[in-house]
Structure 1
Amino acid sequence: MKYLTPPVLFFFLLFWSACGGTEHEPATAADDRNLAERLPGTWETVELEVDYATYMGADTAYQEHIREADWGQVYGVRPPSTEFTPNGKLRRTYRLRSGEVANITNGIWKVTGDSLLVIEPNITYTYAYELENDRLELTGRVDQDQDGQADDDFRAVYRMTSRTR
């Protein structure tokens, strides 16, 4: 059985704990009306892409792109899943390939105008979103590498795996 080494697990959790931003493009009017109604459920992360303008405080550019097959083949984990509840809470679960829970992040969410606001422990994220059927794309400018600068471009694609009523 292959497990994540501490450095790999750290970067995996870092990539997912620091997602969001404040600069974004507006969502469509239909999404604005429906996101709060359509978001409750469990969403699996299909793809993650982060472009770092600087990396870990160094003057060097870096790009991270995790595609659907990479979760298991490259990182030895299942894609993270996020449950959005109708009462505005969320629970993101990270699992090893075996299904064992590696980490859980709890937070709250709210649709504010054309943005999705997510508050997790010690950080608040603002995402632009595109919602089409059971596919959700979140984008934003963030401090993904936690170097004190919100200069990293973030994009994640989610697929709904179950709906909550």
Structure 2
Amino acid sequence: MKSSNVTFFMRVWQGDITQLPVDAIVNAANPSLLGGGGVDGAIHKAAGPDLKQYCAGLGGCNTGEAKLSPGFNLPSQYVVHTVGPVWHGGGDNEAKLLAQCYQNSLLLADREGIVSIAFPAISCGVYGYPARKAAEVAVTALNVALEQCVLSKQIWLVGFDAEQAGIWQQCVANLQQIA
């Protein structure tokens, strides 16, 4: 149950998520957790070969779930791996599954004592999820999950380029107007 003195902030950062000095970064992984393209490949490359070896022992990950590994050579102590949905036009539970990625990642981090966490735009690369729709789902899902957190949170929404960072910024601003 959320304590009344739990605080949080949600901020946007543009750049390489592997360089952000936070407790944990979230990896938009494939189901095997063994590396791939996009942010998944960048995280595996920056963390070094020990990450792939560790992930081989995790037994994969289903869409919407989250698993934890050490960060190895990354500035972050941990990597939270989650598998986003492939976009099929929006009628295949994509929004629900994407929301689960963000919520399960944040709640896993909370259980493990992680305070600062950085999220990429999950499913927006080769999985084809439209960036604005995904960001709206993400910001809403994180706001809901924060109600269940027992630790204060510093949430960073990372855009690898100015366009994605701008989309994150608009969605965070919209959330703040509602709150």
TM-score when scaled to structure 1?
0.31
**Which is richer in strand?**
1
**Which is richer in helix?**
2
TM-score when scaled to structure 2?
0.29
